[in-house]
Amino acid sequence: MAGSPLPFDPIAEARRNWEKHGWDAEAAMSAATSITRAHQILLRRIDAALEPLGLVFSRFEALALLSFSRTGALPLSRIGQRLQVHPTSVTNTIDRLEADGLVARVPHPTDRRTTLAELTDRGRALAVEAATALGEVGYGLGGMDDDDLANVDRALRPLRAAAGDFSGEAPAT
Amino acid sequence: MAGSPLPFDPIAEARRNWEKHGWDAEAAMSAATSITRAHQILLRRIDAALEPLGLVFSRFEALALLSFSRTGALPLSRIGQRLQVHPTSVTNTIDRLEADGLVARVPHPTDRRTTLAELTDRGRALAVEAATALGEVGYGLGGMDDDDLANVDRALRPLRAAAGDFSGEAPAT
DNA sequence: CGATGTTACTAGGACATCCGACTATCTGCC
DNA sequence: GGCAGATAGTCGGATGTCCTAGTAACATCG
């Protein structure tokens, strides 16, 4: 993607430069850049694993969420809340899933404002296939053991807490 | 952005569902989702801090990189390598920085294939302003102390290592 | 009952990122 | 010298995400 690989860690290098030039908050810069980079690596691997199935991560997430619901159908607004994405992103995601015949839009039985996204049989089956495919590559985290994975959860918890992702729940270990 | 906040942690909830339905690799799923979410939180905060300056994170990164270079100019290809983004993304980034008068494209003195992005005076000054603004919000990580930040670096290191970001360097701490 | 405010979804537009393809150059080696 | 292969940058196209605005429908309360 970006020519040849570098012979050094670009984040460590950036940090050295930060310090050398007297720019502050280098620890925060370094952590923020690590997160950005980790996300990039992850998304690339995940999408690569899903590509043969015609999915991308965001669409898979919606499919998974629907699979877990009792009836296989949820209001678009609830999908947006759970996935923490903008309503227009949900519209877009469901548009594509619907075009692929993986979900169907059905009107809400009582609230006429609301549209439900309902899993089709193909959608339900594909969600399982995709989960399997992702499991095989460890959700892009292949190579990390359970300790490593727990460390990631734990390390990012303060950030998510500050963003209000929990409401005072007990931290899950 | 997504309606009202949830009364529970959506990632912990996803993990419970994963287990309940027998989908495997729930630890990896949880860690991957945490990273995705952390990135989203971060990018939103960072871009909010940069918005008054007319920048976004990716353009700031390019500006910072140029600020650290000896001559204030680098080939686009080097920028892409260091920032680990696709060449076309660099073209786009530099297009915008150039349109804003923050960098100028100049031909490479000896290699006629190569274009250099050279910081203008305004670009150099804005980079400093932006670094200050970002420092004030802790690069989107405000509220995390140095231990927390170090934990993030450390936790994500195995992932970056697996992606080849280091070439056998001694892990920094 | 009706005005006001909230909630649900979509349309249009702005960005950033990637990929594939294409042109222009440089490099290496016969 | 000259040709094959690698490298640099750009263009066009496709995706995903967000924001602003706008319409429709529910909910609340005087």
Q: What is the mean pLDDT of chain B?
A: 91
The mean pLDDT of A50-65, rounded to a whole number, is 96
| Strand C contact at CB of residue B115, distance < 7 A | no
Spell out the residues 6+ positions from residue A164 whose beta carbon is closer than 8 angstroms to its own: B5
Residues B86, A6: Cα–Cα separation, whole Å: 14
CA B70, C1' D30: Å apart?
71
Torsion of CA A75, A76, A81, A83, to 10 degrees: 120
Are B25 and A134 within 8 A, CB to CB?
yes
The mean pLDDT of A121-132, rounded to a whole number, is 96
Residues B37, B32: Cα–Cα separation, whole Å: 9
Whole-number pLDDT of residue B5: 65
Give tens-digit pLDDT for A130-161: 999 999 999 999 889 999 999 999 999 999 98
CA A89, C1' C14: Å apart?
14
Residues B161, A77: Cα–Cα separation, whole Å: 38
The mean pLDDT of B110-121, rounded to a whole number, is 97
Residues A59, A168: Cα–Cα separation, whole Å: 30
Give tens-digit pLDDT for B13-55: 999 999 999 998 999 999 999 999 999 999 999 999 999 999 9
Q: Which nucleotides of D are covered by protein (CB under 7 A)?
A: 7-13, 15-21, 24-27
The mean pLDDT of B54-81, rounded to a whole number, is 97
Strands B103-107 and B115-119, how do they pair? antiparallel
Residue numbers in B near A143 (CB within 8 A): 158, 162
Whole-number pLDDT of residue A6: 76
CA B35, C1' D5: Å apart?
40
Whole-number pLDDT of residue A1: 60
DSSP state of A51: G
Residue numbers in B near A1 (CB within 8 A): 84-86
Are A152 and B31 within 8 A, CB to CB?
yes
The mean pLDDT of A113-138, rounded to a whole number, is 96
Spell out the residues 6+ positions from residue B134 whose beta carbon is closer than 8 angstroms to its own: A25, A29, B46, B49, B50, B60, B140
Whole-number pLDDT of residue B139: 93
| Strand C contact at CB of residue B173, distance < 7 A | no
pLDDT(B4) > 80: no
pTM for the structure as a whole: 0.91
